[in-house]
Amino acid sequence: MSILKIEPFGERLIAMRRHLHANPELSHEEFETTATIRRWLSEANIRIADFPLRTGVVAEVGGSLGGPVIAIRADIDALPVQEETGLPFASLNKGKMHACGHDFHTAAAMGAALLLKKKESELPGTVRFLFQPAEEKAKGAQQVIASGALKGVKAIFGLHNKPDLPVGTIGIKGGPIMAAADGFVIEVHGRGSHAAIPEAGLDPIIVSAHIVTALQSIVSRNVGALDSAVISVTRIQSGTAWNVIPDKAVLDGTLRTFDPRVRKRVRERFEQIVAGIAGAFETSAEVSWIEGPPAVRNDAGWAERASRTAEKLGLRVVPPAPSLAGEDFAFYLKETPGLFLFIGTDGPHEWHHPAFDVDERALEHSASYLAALAVDALQQL
Ligand code: NI
């Protein structure tokens, strides 16, 4: 029996989420997921829009009366995490897991599409659904934008499950809600030597240790106490043997910020500190930045209007604490105004944990909310 025939509606969405959960695929490899979404859309007679995407799907509901176009985005990819939930519908794909709940997002957006399909002829515009690949690599949003699927879109909405909010709550806030997420690689170039003859070499490990410590002073001394930044060095690689001073060390990590001025200032200080410390030890070092998505900045007007829609449905709106995690939804908001919101899913663990889970009771009202938000948005544009 097709999942789309399951009644009641909430059970149908849960079946969809579980199907996706059991069959997770990594960023850029979401071929089965894409085929599944396309099948569900076709079975429901929902129009699949023709945009050039390798993985991911764009679908549309409405438009017969003309009117504006708005977009709802759901990310569809999973993570390289070995699942440890013990759930009966746990991942069948070893080492891959929907540990960020993108299965939930996809099922919620599918649900909204099904609800809107029922009143398609009355819709005062078009709702374009962006089932986006590769969010975890922060590449998918840019692919969707490059495909042309954001052209003509007057407002865009996206959601993320939030394990620390109870079911029945929605976190909505204007301004920054998720951080700019940059990566960095530092290469320290020293000179190798015998471990017992350090004066013949230039030890990159000593230099790395000083760099790691000094970088932590940026947040405490160069960022205002009311601003936010995180610098984490997450990997250090150097050396091959206990009795050899290596000639090189590589350090990786990430920088998270909300404010573009803070981001710029931290990066300046970062480079000064790395170069200064390397120079003080007669070595040299290079910093390369891996540009991540900018901060997700919500439109204040849409935050206000979306809060009213939530209250109409009896959902409790709470002002969420911004998250220092990154989200490539930020790229859409650079192109068009909109809103990224949190849905309370009362999970046992934070995002990306091997025992991450969502409370599926949040699915049905997430779908209803997205559908209602789409209708309200079209009416207000
Ligand atoms: Ni996520």
76 CA to centre of ligand 1 in angstroms: 9
How far lies 226's CA from each of 101, 222, 223, 262, 351, in Å? 31, 12, 8, 11, 26
169 CA to centre of ligand 1 in angstroms: 18
345 CA to centre of ligand 1 in angstroms: 13
Cα–Cα dist 290/208, whole Å? 19
Specify the pLDDT at position 2.
82
300 CA to centre of ligand 1 in angstroms: 23
365 CA to centre of ligand 1 in angstroms: 19
Which helix (H) or strand (E) covers residue 132, if one does? strand 126-132
104 CA to centre of ligand 1 in angstroms: 10
146 CA to centre of ligand 1 in angstroms: 21
159 CA to centre of ligand 1 in angstroms: 9
136 CA to centre of ligand 1 in angstroms: 7
pTM (2 d.p.): 0.90
- The Cα diameter of the chain in Å comes to 81
pLDDT tens digits, one per residue of 247-276:
999 999 999 999 999 999 999 999 999 999
Cα–Cα dist 232/210, whole Å? 14
Cα–Cα dist 303/253, whole Å? 33
**Domains, the chain, ranges and CATH?**
9-174+299-380 (3.40.630.10), 179-290 (3.30.70.360)
192 CA to centre of ligand 1 in angstroms: 42
381 CA to centre of ligand 1 in angstroms: 29
The tokens for 5 are 């025939």
HSE at residue 248, side-chain half, CA atoms within 13 A, is 5
Percent of the chain with pLDDT over 90: 98
How far lies 77's CA from each of 61, 80, 136, 194, in Å? 23, 10, 7, 48
185 CA to centre of ligand 1 in angstroms: 24
Cα–Cα dist 258/241, whole Å? 41
What does DSSP assign to residue 289? E
101 CA to centre of ligand 1 in angstroms: 6
If you search the block for the tokens 């079209």, which residue do you land on? 378
Could you tell me whether strands 229-238 and 248-257 are parallel, antiparallel, or unpaired per DSSP bridges?
antiparallel
pLDDT tens digits, one per residue of 49-102:
999 999 999 999 999 999 999 999 999 999 999 999 999 999 999 999 999 999
Percent of the chain with pLDDT over 70: 100
Q: What angle do CA 150, 69, 330 make, to 5 degrees?
A: 40
If you search the block for the tokens 């029945």, which residue do you land on? 168
328 CA to centre of ligand 1 in angstroms: 9
160 CA to centre of ligand 1 in angstroms: 7
pLDDT score of 5 more than 90: no
**Where do runs of H (alpha helix) occur along 73-172?**
102-118, 140-146
pLDDT score of 242 more than 90: yes
What radius of gyration, in Å, describes the C-alpha atoms of the chain? Answer: 23
302 CA to centre of ligand 1 in angstroms: 22
201 CA to centre of ligand 1 in angstroms: 45
Cα–Cα dist 380/372, whole Å? 12
Amino acid at 355: A
The tokens for 115 are 């609800």
352 CA to centre of ligand 1 in angstroms: 8
Specify the pLDDT at position 126.
98
Q: What is the mean pLDDT of residues 34-54?
A: 97
Residue 142: burial class (beta carbons within 10 Å; 0-12, 13-18, 19+): middle
The tokens for 33 are 């997921």
